[in-house]
Amino acid sequence: MGNAFDPSNPRGLYSSVIVVVFAVITPFFVSLRTWTRAVIIGKVTGEDYTLLVSWICSLLMGICVIYQAKHGNGRHIETVSPEDLKSALFALYISVPLYQLGLVLVKVCIIWQYYLIFPGKQMRLACNIMLGITIVYAFWCVFNNIFLCNPIPSYWDLSIKGSCLPRNMVWYSNAALNIATDVAIILLPLPSIHHLQLPLKQKLGLIGVFALGSFVCLVSILRLPELRTAIVSSDPLHDGAAIAYWSFVEVNVAIICACLPSLKAFAAQYMPHYLGGSSPQTGNSKKDTEAQGRTLVTKIEKDGRESKNDLNGQIKVVTVVEMERGERRKSDDGNSQEGRVVTHI
């Protein structure tokens, strides 16, 4: 048994330092998002709990990465005792499903956000389909990693004779599905944003907010060479250290990106000067600030009644009014619009 922060094992040390750094950064963003949703917006939904569970998965995964480094991950296999090798491989076995589950829960959280933000039937159908695909993908990834070897303990205990599925097939297919679902989720809201009657600058701003997931795709792609190295290596501890910390980084970057869109309400409340406001609000003006952090969708029913839905602070840029075909209605600035009227808040 060694030291996870042993300078003589630079790969293991690097892995452990990365875990510590994100163990500080990620909870900060998760806490800020939770505070914004619970206190400023005043509404906590299932997506918030989903993201919290994802963060717990990343935390447990980080513990596994440090445990691996402590037991020789990053060292050449011939310098590691059989007991340490067994412990390191067992930690790897535990960390892989945590990695998959953490990523999938972030995807579910983002799809859930889309479902609340865009009330259109087509968009919600697309969200339901994407959610179903993501859940099936999750079951596949977690299942094939848990039952990769038969018997299961032969995964980490090399003294047990067993057979395993080809890791290159399993891990490459999982990585491909991960990137494919990431790209699909990034593209999912673009048609809805395209149909919003907004200036190009504001449309690009919204696209930028929803395209934050592209950073996760980038990390997933950067992780691929290390994945290949780990698969073909005859020295799994030495060459597998990089894939351990790249996987941890990927999950945490995904969680942070999922937190960022909800933080505009926090900025509007406590840092309005960065958003073009004047000063922090108090009293009745605080309610105005909170309103600036929300979007209301007003739907004109067939009988002429209006129904308003608060979109939980997910988009803080526009108010959308949906009307029956052929009807016209004046917006607050006096301009007559048909179909969809957009006003700024």
Helix, strand or coil, per DSSP, at residue 212: coil
d(CA 236, CA 166) in angstroms, rounded, equals 15
pLDDT at 57: 97
Query: What's this model's pTM, rounded to 2 decimal places?
Result: 0.78
Q: CB neighbours of 114 closer than 8 A, spacing ≥ 6?
A: 123, 127, 188, 189
d(CA 219, CA 22) in angstroms, rounded, equals 15
Class of domain 10-267: mainly alpha
Which residues lie across from 321 on neighbouring strands? 298, 341
- pLDDT interval class at 276 (50, 70, 90): low
pLDDT at 196: 74
Mean pLDDT of 50-69: 97
Both structure tokens of 27? 């909870």
pLDDT at 274: 59
Q: Name which residue leads in pLDDT, 105 or 300.
A: 105
- pLDDT interval class at 215 (50, 70, 90): confident
Residue 261 has pLDDT above 90, yes or no: no
Determine whether 174 is exposed, middle or buried from the number of CB atoms within 10 Å of its CB (0-12, 13-18, 19+).
buried
Residue 97 has pLDDT above 60, yes or no: yes
Which residue intervals of the chain bear CATH 1.20.1070? 10-267
**Residue written as tokens 């990465």?**
65
Q: Cα angle vertex 143, ends 139, 149, to 5°?
A: 165
Rg for the chain, CA atoms, rounded: 24
- pLDDT interval class at 293 (50, 70, 90): very low
d(CA 7, CA 278) in angstroms, rounded, equals 50
pLDDT at 164: 92
d(CA 44, CA 171) in angstroms, rounded, equals 35
Instruction: Tell me the one-letter amino acid at 201.
Output: K
Cβ contact 177:137 at 8 Å: yes
Mean pLDDT of 146-156: 95
Read off the DSSP letter of residue 263: G
pLDDT at 313: 43
| Of 178-192, 208-222, 302-316, minimum mean pLDDT range | 302-316
Q: What percent of the chain has pLDDT over 90?
A: 50
Sign of CA dihedral 300, 305, 309, 315: positive
pLDDT at 320: 36
pLDDT at 297: 43
